[in-house]
A = this chain, B = another copy of it.
Amino acid sequence: MTRHIAIQELTGAKAHCAHARADCGECDVRLRSVCGALDECEIGELENLARPAAFAAKETLFLEGADAECVFNIVSGVVRLYRVLEDGRRQIIGFPMSGDFIGLDLASKRSFCADAVTTVTACRFPRKEFSEFLTRKPNLLQALHARSSLELKRSRDHLLALGLCSADEKIAWFLTTLRGRASDTSGADIRLPMSRQDIADYLGLTIETVSRTLQRFARENIVEIQPQGVRIVDFNKMGSLAAT
């Protein structure tokens, strides 16, 4: 049960360029994220607060308990959010990706850790300034609240999977959910940028169970395992397993 995690320290040489200027006009996630609530004029004001940021795979964004100096809007890539108990057990609570917002609660302390699964590009805002900006823009606050509600809903779906589902159902639910979040929501291919260990820690399983279950799904012609992910073969079977 107990597994120790060496929490990677923040590296000195970060890949993000803190002084570049953001260009919201060119941003392709703008309409799918909270910024979509602002008009052209307001977006200009927000642009003054925004700083593009980039992280290499495995790089740490922040650790639990740290001061939250900024909030993030993810532009591309996948992040993992997690908490670790003293004895090393880790629970991944989410995989925010393109369009998602990190730091919804605007709290001064981080309540979880975050690091990059893949290369990540993001839009970073100083928390206090962003928070102050919010008080003057009720529509942005409303958009943030809507995001928060979405996040709460996702968290509850996740809860349902952990509380009610068998290993098979958890895996099927995970794959189905990931497919639903991808840009192309109709394809059979699902990219899995995270490791088996990440999937296990997300679903409350062990790496062995994840591996075994996926291999068995492949043997039973439910999925096909591919280099960077899986392809769903039997949609019916997947659907009936994942039904939450």
Q: Which residues of A contact B (CB under 8 A)?
A: 1, 83, 85-86, 89, 91, 93, 104-107, 111-112, 135, 138, 141-142, 144-146, 148-149, 151-153, 155-156, 158-160, 162-164, 166, 201, 203-204, 243-244
Chain B residues positioned under 8 Å from A91 (CB to CB): 159-160, 163-164
Q: How far is the CA of A91 from the CA of B203 in the complex (A)?
A: 16
Chain copies in complex: 2
Q: A105-B153, A149-B148, A152-B148 are in contact. Are A159 and B162 (CB under 8 A)?
A: yes
Grouping DSSP codes into helix (H, G, I), strand (E, B) and loop, the A interface class, with mixed when no group exceeds half, is: helix
Chain B residues positioned under 8 Å from A83 (CB to CB): 156, 160
Chain B residue nearest in CB terms to A155: B155
Are B204 and A153 in touch, CB under 8 angstroms? no
Are A156 and B112 in touch, CB under 8 angstroms? yes
Are A156 and B155 in touch, CB under 8 angstroms? yes
Chain B residue nearest in CB terms to A89: B164
Q: How far is the CA of A107 from the CA of B201 in the complex (A)?
A: 31
Chain B residue nearest in CB terms to A112: B156
Q: How far is the CA of A107 from the CA of B243 in the complex (A)?
A: 22
Chain B residue nearest in CB terms to A244: B85
A80 CB to nearest chain B CB (Å): 14
Are B153 and A152 in touch, CB under 8 angstroms? no
Are B149 and A107 in touch, CB under 8 angstroms? yes
Are A149 and B105 in touch, CB under 8 angstroms? yes
Chain B residues positioned under 8 Å from A243 (CB to CB): 85-86
Instruction: Report which of B93, B105, B111 forms a contact with A159, defined as CB distance below 8 A.
Output: B93
Chain B residues positioned under 8 Å from A162 (CB to CB): 159, 162-163, 204
Chain B residues positioned under 8 Å from A111 (CB to CB): 153, 156
Chain B residue nearest in CB terms to A163: B204
Q: How far is the CA of A178 from the CA of B125 in the complex (A)?
A: 36
